[in-house]
Chain A
Amino acid sequence: MNQLQAPISAGWAWHFAWLNLSAADLIVVALMIVVFILAIIIPFPKEKGE
């Protein structure tokens, strides 16, 4: 990719009105949702003898 390209046009992006989300943005949001759900459902290890 051309090094002198503007960050906003650096690759594919999802455009909706004023909102521009790059592929990296969407991946991060999806990852946040996955980590959040896992944090809720995975049981926290209990202390020994509890």
Chain B
Amino acid sequence: MRKNITRSVRDWVNDNLPMEHVLPDTLPTFVNSYVYLFGILTLASFVWLIVTGTVLAIFGPTWWHVSAIGHFFNSMHFWAVQAFFFFMVLHLWAQFMMAAWRGGRHFTWIGGWLLFLVSIVTGLTGYLSQTNFDAQWIGVQGKDAMNAAGIGGFFNLLNFGQMYGLHIIVLPLVLVLLLASHVLLVRKHGVVEPIPLDGKEVTQHGEKRA
């Protein structure tokens, strides 16, 4: 059979992301702990950020500053971001303590860090998009840091249009793509095994190493 892009992609997906890994119906017994919930709680907060953020973007700043429902959605967006970072940091602690980069999972770990860093920039552009005194203060103070870092020329905190555009479309898109690859990598490799008590790790090929 001749090779083509569709067939190559399908073969790659079948080989690397089999459906029994992508959508598992059972999990190892060691996953029976609340510590393993921090990742999905972060993801749930992110979904709520997208939902409330979409409503805020549809109706705009004059709505979220003056109407009761606008205040409510603005507050939900604010508290969802508190939950998002709260659970993300707890997820980071948990994965660090169980050395979750073991067994070929290094790109899941690196991807998690990328998500953390992009989330911080998304949080910053969010603060700048509030259209209140807080946003003005952060913009005026933060521009000096950006200029000192040498990126103020194309990342201008005082340019509301740029910051708002980045916050509501570019950065969420990057986060969605990174999140999708992060979750797919977790599903591909499975949840990392606990660190063995005898200090010897079982490798992917079954042998033990110190």
Contacts and interface: CB of A to CB of B under 8 A. Distances in A.
A42 B34 contact: yes
Interface string B40-84: 000000000000000000000000000000000000000000100
Interface string B128-158: 0000011001100100000000000000000
Contacts of B93: 32, 36
A47 to B, nearest CB: 9
A4 B34 contact: no
7 contacts: A7-B134, A28-B82, A36-B94, A39-B94, A40-B33, A42-B34, A44-B32
A31 B90 CA distance: 11
A36 B138 CA distance: 31
Interface residues on B, range: 10 to 19
Interface of B: 32-35, 37-38, 82, 86, 89-90, 93-94, 133-134, 137-138, 141
Nearest to A31: B86
Contacts of B138: 7
B209 to A, nearest CB: 27
A33 B35 CA distance: 12
Contacts of A38: 34
A36 B137 contact: no
Main secondary structure of the interface of A (DSSP, over half): helix
| Count class of interface residues, chain A | 10 to 19
A17 interface: no
Contact of B34 (A3, A28, A39): A39
Given A7-B138, A44-B33, A44-B34, A36 B90 contact: yes
Interface of A: 3-4, 6-8, 28, 31-32, 35-36, 38-40, 42, 44, 46
A4 B32 contact: no
B14 to A, nearest CB: 31
Contacts of B94: 36, 39
Nearest to A39: B34
B137 A39 contact: no
A38 B37 CA distance: 12
Given A36-B93, A39-B37, A28 B32 contact: no
